[in-house]
Amino acid sequence: MDHFRLIDGELHAEDVPLSRIAAEVGTPVYVYSRATLERHARVFREGLAPIVEQGGPEPLIAFAVKSNPNLAVLRVLAREGYGADVVSGGELVRALAAGMPAERIVFSGVGKTRAELQLGLDRRIGQFNIESSEEGRELAALADGQGLTAQATLRINPDVDAKTHAKISTGKAENKFGIPLIRARETFAELAALGGLHLRGVAVHIGSQLLDLEPLETAFAKVGQLVADLRADGHTITHVDLGGGLGVPYRAGENPPSPADYGAMVARVTRDWGVHLAFEPGRVIAGNAGVLLTRVVRVKRGGNGPPFVIVDAAMNDLARPALYGAWHDFDAVRPSGERMTANVVGPICETGDTFATDRDCDALQSGDLAVFRTAGAYGATMASSYNSRGFVAETMVDGARYAVVADRIAADVIMDAERVPDFLQD
């Protein structure tokens, strides 16, 4: 459920006609809906209610900042009581700047640098999810040397096939993430003995855009067994971080489990764990809270296929179709009722700059506005300036008003940051 819908024949974001944003800000531009973000944040939290109803402590919900790090988006979620799952110093600083309390920030990632670990210590973040014994030793030494104690969990790799795109699957043995289950007990024992580290639990995250609960349940059951084993080894386990990964519908027929289904499953599996649970949802919160608004540059006759609808957005603005062959619904802002079959492409000089092939869509002509839907997660954040196109702008709608929440960065501004060195001047 989102707040992008037709009113008087024109697609609106909440009460704002998209043509107004296009006229005032230009295209391409991302449009986020505050009401949708808030709704998703609440639905996810309500989905976890059974955990609290069966006596568990209130879970920590740490928004996966990587999915949409826009400060305005983070601010909306901070106001909903969300914390943040961050994977870099940059994300950490953003989460704090948006008002997320340090104790609600968890730091994930296989390659945290020494400087990033130090930043996390300096800012007294709530939890480091450690992904190797090497990282754990480095963090422990750093903290101990400063008389600090880092709160931490050990991220394990449960070797479960999440049944999603290979590039966004993270819980198979061959993936770089986490500690193999088989080495988890010895690594935990090694790190738990170190000063500077309070290793208090376990973390897991098996992948993104999951459309099936079964792999999650399998992974969580393995975590439950590990918690029991670690306790048998004499450790005190108080925290488990179950990661993110819940999918969203990108196209008709995709029926991801609802947050309520997910929460019921988690409550059942974790009933006897007696721990504080944390969650790191990204896409399920932000995905359907954003669209990429674009204008048709021209429609070009095809060779031996359908016409090319050439839009002013490109793979540098929304990389998912080019990167993962991902589907994004594509709709006219003012649908005439006529349909066409089109290849929807951007202006970039790569055949991969294709958003949709042989797509049945609203009939469109040069100058018409259209949207790629479900672009609020892993959209603007994955933009680049390829083909010297600059960086796409972002806006947020709130009822009948909206604001630009990230300026377009024009190609000439990016050029200002470059230098031609003296040795190339002659």
Ligand X SMILES: Cc1ncc(COP(=O)(O)O)c(C=O)c1O
Of 43, 102, 148, 168, which one interacts with ligand LYS (CB under 6 A)?
Answer: 168
What tokens were used for 276? 């504080």
**CB nearer to ligand LYS: pick between 260 and 382:** 382
Write out the binding residues for ligand LYS, residues 86-145 only, by CB under 6 A.
none
Task: Tell me which DSSP letter residue 370 carries.
Answer: E
Residue 159, interface with ligand X (CB under 6 A)?
no
Beta strands in 255-353 (DSSP E): 276-279, 290-300, 308-311, 330-332, 339-345
The token duo for 46 is 């309500």
CB burial string 14-48: b at 16+ within 10 A, e below? bebbbeebbeebebbbbbbbbbbbbbbbebbbebb
Binding partner selected for residue 320 from ligand X, ligand LYS, none, CB under the kind-specific 5 to 8 Å limit: ligand LYS
Which two structure tokens, joined as six digits, stand for 212?
């099936």
Q: How far is the CB of 280 from ligand X (least distance, A)?
A: 4
Does 191 bind ligand X (CB under 6 A)? Our answer is no
Q: Which is nearer to ligand LYS, 112 or 295 (CB)?
A: 112
Among residues 1, 115, 349, 424, which one is catalytic? 349
User: Any known ligand binding at 350?
Assistant: yes
- Binder among 205, 320, 328, 408 for ligand X (CB under 6 A): 205
**Under rule CB under 6 A, residue 243 binds ligand X:** yes
Shortest distance (Å) from residue 288 CB to ligand X: 12
290 neighbors 379 (Cβ within 8 angstroms) = yes
361 is catalytic: no
Query: Comparing C-alpha atoms, which of 28, 16, 24 is closest to residue 311?
Result: 28
Binding-site partner at residue 33 among ligand LYS, ligand X, none, CB < 5 to 8 Å by type: none
- Under rule CB under 6 A, which residues in 319-348 are in contact with ligand LYS? 320, 324
Q: Which is nearer to ligand LYS, 62 or 369 (CB)?
A: 62
**CB closer to ligand X, 44 vs 402:** 44
Residue number, 308 or 324, with CB nearest to ligand LYS: 324
Beta strands 339-345; 308-311: pairing state: parallel
Answer yes or no whether residue 85 interacts with ligand X by CB under 6 A: yes
The verdict on whether residue 386 carries a ligand-binding annotation is no
- Interacting stretch for ligand X, rule CB under 6 A, among 189-197, 231-239, 276-284, 301-309? 276-284
H or E element at residue 216:
helix 214-232
CB of 185 closer than 8 Å to CB of 233: yes
Listed as own residue / partner, the contacts of 355-360 with beta carbons closer than 8 Å and 24 or more positions apart are 355/311, 355/313, 355/318, 355/321, 355/328, 355/330, 356/321, 356/327, 356/328, 356/330, 358/305, 358/306, 359/330
208 binds ligand LYS (CB under 6 A): yes
Instruction: Name the nearest CA neighbour of 154 among 271, 228, 237, 92.
Output: 237
Q: What is the dihedral of CA 331, 333, 339, 340, to 10 degrees?
A: -70
Per-residue contact flags (x/-) with ligand X for residues 53 to 82, judged by CB under 6 A: -----------x--x---------------
If contact means CB under 5 to 8 A according to the sort of partner, which of ligand X, ligand LYS, none does residue 308 touch?
Answer: none
Count of chain residues binding ligand LYS (CB under 6 A):
7
To the nearest whole angstrom, how small is the minimum distance from the Cβ of residue 63 to ligand X? Answer: 9
Enumerate residues 6+ apart whose C-beta is below 8 A from 363. 332, 336, 338, 339, 340
Dist. CA 83–CA 101, nearest whole Å:
7
Instruction: Give one word for 345, left, alpha or beta, with left for phi > 0 and alpha for psi -120 to 50.
Output: beta
Q: Which of 196, 281, 376, 379 binds ligand X (CB under 6 A)?
A: 281
- Is 281 among the annotated ligand-binding positions? yes
Interaction between residue 33 and ligand X (CB under 6 A): no
d(C-alpha 112, C-alpha 142), whole Å: 13
Q: Which two tokens stand for residue 389?
A: 């196109």
Q: Are the beta carbons of 13 and 4 closer than 8 angstroms? A: yes
* Binding-site ranges for ligand X (CB under 6 A): 64, 67, 85, 108, 170, 205, 208-209, 243-246, 280-284, 377
Binding site for ligand LYS (CB under 6 A): 66, 168, 208-209, 320, 324, 378
Instruction: State the binding site.
Output: 245, 280-283, 320, 324, 350, 378
Point out the residues that are catalytic: 349
- Report the binding-site residues for substrate: 283, 320, 324, 350, 378
Residues forming the annotated binding site for pyridoxal 5'-phosphate?
Answer: 245, 280-283, 378
